[in-house]
Amino acid sequence: MLAKRIIPCLDVKDGKTVKGINFINIREVGDPVEMGAVYAAQGADELVFLDITATHEGRKTFVELVRRIAKNINIPFTVGGGVSALSDIEALLSAGADKVSINTAAIKNPGLVDQMALHFGSQFVVVAIDANEKEGNWTAFINGGRIPSDKELFSWAREVQDRGAGEILFTSMNHDGTKNGFACEATARLSESLSIPVIASGGAGNMEHFAEVFTVGKADAGLAASIFHYREITVPQLKEYLQNRNIPVRI
């Protein structure tokens, strides 16, 4: 079995790392350059940087900030937010990103996924899906979780896989920031229906939640923000906990 990945996430607004609950009630938690360096030193497997208001505000991701973060870490680095054209992706990869995540742009222009895979390779393409569950139906949202789309989570994930996405970053809006656990049932359904890796996001509150999403949820990676940002648990503590439960991780 492949090692499960632990991925801290830096949600960035106005150049500062922030965190909210259910995609609202945003507050600052620190400097993304410093925090990224700490997570890399702790042994995080990857880092995700999301400029959470770039699309909503109609601007591009902070390329210079991406460059500063990349210079201070030695682990794979995924960047998203405000990406809508191949030139945006080129700029982010040139600034030090290892992978680029798209969400709103993919839903508005699905062909962009094909173009990204063709020009840069599927290994560089992460499609993020922010989805909200209501009465058993999962709807994908755009513009940082502000606007519902006409895409259904599972069919949309299969479509972008077919278009060349190399990875899915699934965030349950219902669980985001609640610390009540990941959406394991939906994550497992995604993992079982896809041949590409699934990163689970939204709801991590303790180490057991990670064990659950890796076993019950069958996720390839677990992403979290606040429990790491507020030092409720550290990456080394989490990896030791998972290893003791026979869940493969890189130590």
Point out the residues that are catalytic.
11, 130
Handedness of CA 166, 172, 173, 179 (dihedral sign): negative
Taking the CA of residue 61 as centre, how many other CA atoms within 13 Å lie in the half-sphere pointing to its CB?
30
Distance CA 250, CA 17 (A): 26
171 neighbors 201 (Cβ within 8 angstroms) = yes
Q: Round to whole Å and give the CA distance between 203 and 171.
A: 9
Residues 101/52, Cβ–Cβ less than 8 Å: no
Q: Token pair for residue 44?
A: 């995080």
Amino acid identity for residue 46 in this structure: E
For residue 88, which phi and psi values (nearest 5 degrees)?
A: -65, -45
Identify the residue whose tokens are 């350059």: 33
